[in-house]
Chains A and B, each alone.
Chain A
Amino acid sequence: MSAATIFIIVLTIFLVTSLFIFQKAATLLIADLQEKVDISVYFKDTADEQQILDAKKDLVSLPEVKDVQYTSAEAALEAFVAKHKDEPVLIESIVELGANPLLASLDIKAGQASQYDAIASFLQEAPFKDLIEKVDYYQRKPVIERIFSITSAVAKGGILLSIILALVAFLVTFNQIRMAIYSSREEISIQRLVGASNRFIRGPFLAEGVISGFFAALISLLILLPLSFFLGPKAEVFLPGFNLFHYLTSNFFLIFSIQLITGMAVGVISSLIAVRKYLEV
Chain B
Amino acid sequence: MIRFQNVSKIYPSNSDSGLQTYALDDVNLQVGKKEFISLVGKSGAGKTTLFRILLVEEKPTSGQVFLDSQEVHKIKKSRLPYLRRRIGAVFQDYKLLPSKTAYENIAYALEVIGANDEEIQKDVPEVLQIVGLADKANNFPVELSGGEKQRVAIARALIHRPEVILADEPTGNLDPYNASDIIQLLLKINELGTTVILATHNKDIVNNLGRRVVTMENGKIIRDEEKGRFVL
A-B contact count (CB 8 A): 45
Q: How far is it, in angstroms, between the C-alpha of A118 and the C-alpha of B82 when the chains are bound?
A: 78
Q: How far is the CB of B114 from chain A (nearest CB, A)?
A: 8
Binds B, one of A123-131, A188-196, A225-233: A188-196
Known contacts A200-B112, A281-B77, A281-B80; A194 and B97 CB within 8 A of each other: no
Q: Please give, as numbers and ranges, the residues of chain B lying within 8 Å of A194 by CB-CB distance.
A: 84-85, 108-109, 112-113, 156, 159-160
Whether a CB of chain B sits under 8 angstroms from the CB of A187 is yes
Whether the pair B81, A195 counts as a contact (CB closer than 8 A) is yes
Which positions 171-207 of chain A face chain B at CB distance < 8 Å? Answer: 186-187, 189-198, 200
Whether the pair A193, B97 counts as a contact (CB closer than 8 A) is no
Could you say which of A187, A192, A195, A200 has the most chain B C-beta atoms within 10 Å of its C-beta?
A195
Whether the pair A195, B97 counts as a contact (CB closer than 8 A) is no
Q: How far is the CB of A263 from chain B (nearest CB, A)?
A: 29
Q: How far is it, in angstroms, between the C-alpha of A186 and the C-alpha of B98 when the chains are bound?
A: 10
Whether a CB of chain A sits under 8 angstroms from the CB of B89 is yes
Whether the pair A190, B97 counts as a contact (CB closer than 8 A) is yes
Whether the pair B80, A196 counts as a contact (CB closer than 8 A) is no
List the A residue with the shortest CB-CB distance to B112: A196
Whether the pair A191, B112 counts as a contact (CB closer than 8 A) is yes
* CB-defined A-B contacts under 8 Å, sample of 10: A190-B108, A191-B112, A192-B84, A194-B84, A194-B113, A194-B159, A194-B160, A196-B112, A197-B112, A197-B113
Report which B residues bind A (CB closer than 8 A). Answer: 77-78, 80-85, 89, 95-97, 108-109, 112-114, 156, 159-160
Q: A187-B97, A194-B113 are in contact. List 13 more A-B contacts (CB 8 A).
A: A190-B96, A190-B97, A192-B81, A193-B95, A194-B108, A194-B156, A195-B84, A195-B85, A195-B112, A197-B81, A198-B81, A200-B114, A281-B80
